[in-house]
Structure 1
Amino acid sequence: MDKMLRPILELTVIIPGLLLAYLPVRTYLRQPLHKLAVWLLPLLAGFCVSGGVLCYTLQITTLPVLIFLLPAVMAVYHRTLRVTIWKSGSIFLAVCAVFACVNSLSRAFNAILTAGLNLAENELWFRTGTGLFYNGICLLFLAAAWYPASHAARTMVDDENFAQTWYIFWILPLIFIALNLFMVPKYRNTLYTGRILQGYIVISLVLLVILVFFYAMFLLIANSLNKNARLMQENHFLSLQQARYENLRSAIEEARQARHDLRHHFVQLSALAENGDLDKIKEYLSCASSKIPSQDLHFCENQAADGVLGYYSALAKLESIPFHAKTDLPSHIAVDEIDMCLVLSNLLENAIQASQKTEVSRRKINVEIYLHYNHLLLIQVENTFDGEIRKKNDIFQSSKRTGNGIGIQSVRHIAEKTGGASSFTCDNGVFTAKIMLRPSKNNANT
């Protein structure tokens, strides 16, 4: 019974490992945590027990079983999340790298326990005490990493500005996994030769410390880059607000001048009416009305949304694109205003670019924004287009370069990040984007 338990204990570290992998992405779960735990924990326990029994039956090490088991666990992990494969895969490999270093330390601990014992050279698994030590260290690391993984790492996962880094981050943990596998001695007695055991312990500890240091540095760099990107976004929206302010000031000045001249207009119209010159009256009214500002001065009470809508409505007017906005937003909303402005900016910029390539008589942009049940933000943007919209694997392709459209992908990621939804359709020359944004927990409580 003891021999059967030993490979099972080696494999049960998968459970704390997967718990650690879920900490940075727990807000992206496809189902509530308690429902996920009901079927996932028994599934993992079944994997570990069946894998251990297989190792015992075939008299093999746990490595071949792990080679087949870990990809299956990784597939289950990814399918339970609403994140890209790059993020879920990188996080999963990062946890595997840490536990690979702990495995090396446990191998050294096992060598210390069995020192002086007359054991067979082909000892396949850790001793029972070492298996408990292995699981204990993994649980301790899970407890120690709980806060940084659920806060600092979670912030990095949430921020879409750092998305490109996930394409290369997986290389670092993969290197450390390979180094730990390379360190495993072919024969058990090798660890008792000279000072190899002491060196093995030191190297295992150094690798673990270096790996944790690299992760910490990566998080610091990521947070710094995210803050800079956030500041750039805020500066961009401030520039939109400034442009909106200039447009409003110009329109207000025109309106003030028109009111000032209104008395003179009445005097002139009275004189023309006394002479019965109807044509002159019509000509004068046409000239006077052209001087009255026709642009909307105000779209909604929310300053952030009003600034973005005002900027793009002025831009649409310069391009002779009819712009209609129906908005009903209060001054304060639970949804993150930066996310809302990013969604609006991307959608309206794409709409204006598509309208510029459309026949003038068909151009139009319709925007509708309102709150549903006081916390769900619903955004709908419609615009006409000429030509063909390219899609690949249900993803819209860019019309300006080769590859996916960045604006729509960014909008989709923001919606998914907040637990909302997005829908993009094109029919009869009209492109329609429907977005639902949910408030974050922090904003929802304010």
Structure 2
Amino acid sequence: MNQFLRPFLELTVILPGMFLAYLPVSSYLRQKPLKLTAWLFPLLLGLCISGGFLSCFFQISTLPVLFLLLPLLLFLYHKTLRISIWKSGSIFLAVCAVFACLNSLSRAVNAITTANLNLTENELWFQTKSGLFYNAICLSFALATWYPASHAAKNMIDDENFARTWYIFWILPLTFIGLNLFMVPRYRNTLYTGRILHGYIVISLVLLAILVLFYAMFLLMADSLNRNARLQQENHFLSLQQARYDNLRAAIEEARQARHDIRHHFLQLSVLAENGDLEKIKEYLSHAASKIPNSDLHFCENQAVDSVLGYYSALTKRENIPFQAKIDLPPRLAIDEIDLCLVLSNLLENALEASQKTNVARRKIDVMICLHHTRLLLIQVTNAFDGNIEQKNAVFQSSKRPGNGIGIQSVRHIAEKNGGGSSFTYEDGKFEAKVMLRTDEKSAV
């Protein structure tokens, strides 16, 4: 029984490892946490038991068994998440790197235990006490990093400004995994030498400390990038509000001037009426009406949405593009206003650019925004377009430069992060974007 228990204990660290890997991506699960745990935990436990049995039956170390299990675990991990393989793979390798350092430390503890038992033969697996220590230290590390993994690391994953870093981040944990494998002595008896054992312990601790330090630096860098991007978004939002304010001020000034001229219009109309010249009265009224500003100064009670719509309404008017908006929103929404404005701005920006390239007779932009059962915010933007729309791997290509379009990708990411959804369809010269965002009733005031 003890022969089977020892390799089994070496493999059961997979459980706290997978637990730690899922902490920063809990909002990207394809299934509910309880449902995922219900089938994944027994499966992982079964893999650990099977791996321990194979190691014991063939009298081999757990390392080759682990190398066979890790690709399967990575496949399961990625398929249960709604993120790219670069992110899921990097997170998985990051956890493996930490546990590789803990494995080296446990190997040193096992050497001390074996020396105290006067066992100098080349053992295949950790002693039972060392296996328990290995599991305990891995579980303790997972619990200790629970908060930073589920908060700071989660922010790094959510941050799209950090997206390109994931293409190279995997190199760091893979390097530390290689260093720890390189440290494994060919013969375990080598560790019984006092100086080598002490040096092995120190190197294991130093590698773990350096790895944690590197992870902390990446978290700080991601937080800095996220704050800078947030400030840029807020500045963009303020610029929209400023433009909206300038448009409103100009329209109010025009209305004030028109009201000032009404008295003179009445005097002129009175003279024409006394003369009984009906045709001149009609002509005069038509001419005067054309000078009265006809601007939709107010779309809804929500100031954030109203500012964005007002800004793009002015742009479409300047380009002679018909703009129609049906908005039914309360003054306050239990949703991140920056995200909402980014979604609306991206959709309207794309619609405006497509309309500018469309035949003048077909130009039109329709916007519809409303709340559905107070829990869902529905946004629909429809516009005409001429030409072809290109997609590659279900990703819209940019019409301004080679590569993927950024606007629609940003809308999709915000919708997924919010727990909502988005769809984009185009047919018969009409492009329709539908976005659903979830509101948080608890944060509503």
For residues 58 and 338 of structure 1, the distance between their equivalents in structure 2, rounded to whole angstroms, comes to 59
Task: Map 1:176-195 onto structure 2 (within 5 A).
Answer: 176-193=176-193, 195=195
TM-score (norm 2): 0.96
Unmatched 5+ stretches in structure 2:
none
Residue 287 of structure 1 deviates from its aligned partner by 2.5
1:428 is matched with which residue? 428
Q: Give the gaps of 5 or more residues in structure 1.
A: none
C-alpha displacement at 1:440, in angstroms? 5.1
User: The residue matched to 1:115 in structure 2 has which SS?
Assistant: helix
Note the alpha carbon deviations across 1:142-179, whole angstroms, 9 max, x for none. 11101111111122222323222222222211111111
Residue number in structure 2 paired with 1:376: 376
Within 1, Cα distance between the matches of 2:443 and 2:402?
38
Of 137-146 and 73-82, the range deviating more from structure 2: 73-82
- Whether 2:355 is the aligned partner of 1:347: answer no
Q: Distance in 2 between matches of 1:154 and 1:148?
A: 8
Deviations 1:43-64 (A, max 9, x none): 1101111111112122222122
Counterpart residue number, 1:287: 287
Work out whether 1:143 is the aligned partner of 2:143: yes
Distance 1:11 1:118 in 2: 23
Runs ≥4 residues deviating over 6 A = none
The answer on whether the counterparts of 2:334 and 2:441 sit within 8 Å (CA) in structure 1 is no
Post-superposition Cα deviations, 1:262-314, rounded to whole Å, max 9, x if no partner, equal: 12112212322333444433432232122211110001111111111110111
- CA RMSD after TM alignment: 1.5
Conserved 8 A contact 1:333-1:375: no
How far the C-alpha of 1:119 sits from its partner, in A, is 4.0
1:208-238 per-residue CA deviation (whole Å, 9 max, x = no partner) reads 0111111112111211111111011001100
* Number of equivalenced pairs: 444
Change (3 A) 1:4 1:441: farther
User: Which deviations, in whole Å up to 9, do the C-alpha atoms of 1:33-90 show, x marking residues without a partner?
Assistant: 1111111110110111111111212222212222221121112112222222222222
The answer to whether 1:33 aligns with 2:18 is no
Return the letter of the residue paired with 1:285.
L
SS of equivalent to 1:22 = helix
Q: Secondary structure at the match of 1:335?
A: coil
Equivalent pair of 1:254/1:291 in contact (CA under 8 Å): no
SS in 2 for 1:381: strand
The CA deviation at 1:399 is: 1.0
- Distance in 2, matches of 1:30 and 1:179, equals 34
Residue 121 of structure 2 corresponds to 120
In the TM superposition, what are the counterparts of 1:89-168 in structure 2 within 5 Å? 89-115=89-115, 117-121=118-122, 123-168=123-168
* More displaced 10-residue stretch of structure 1: 244-253 or 29-38: 29-38
Output the CA distance in 2 between the equivalents of 1:307 and 1:166. 35
The 3-state SS of whatever aligns with 2:27 is helix
Q: How does 1:405-420 map to 2 (within 5 A)?
A: 405-420=405-420
Structure 1 residues 115 and 45: alpha-carbon distance in aligned structure 2, compared to 1, 3 A threshold: same
TM-score, normalised on structure 1?
Answer: 0.96
Q: Distance in 2 between matches of 1:229 and 1:301?
A: 28
Question: CA 1:176–1:15 in structure 2 vs 1: closer, same or farther (change >3 Å)?
Answer: same
Task: Tell me the distance in 2 between the aligned counterparts of 1:168 and 1:273.
Answer: 81
Residues 1:181 and 1:161: Cα distance change in structure 2 (over 3 Å): same
Instruction: Note if contact 1:380-1:435 (Cα within 8 Å) is conserved in structure 2.
Output: yes
Amino acid at match of 2:130: T
Matched, 1:69 2:63: no
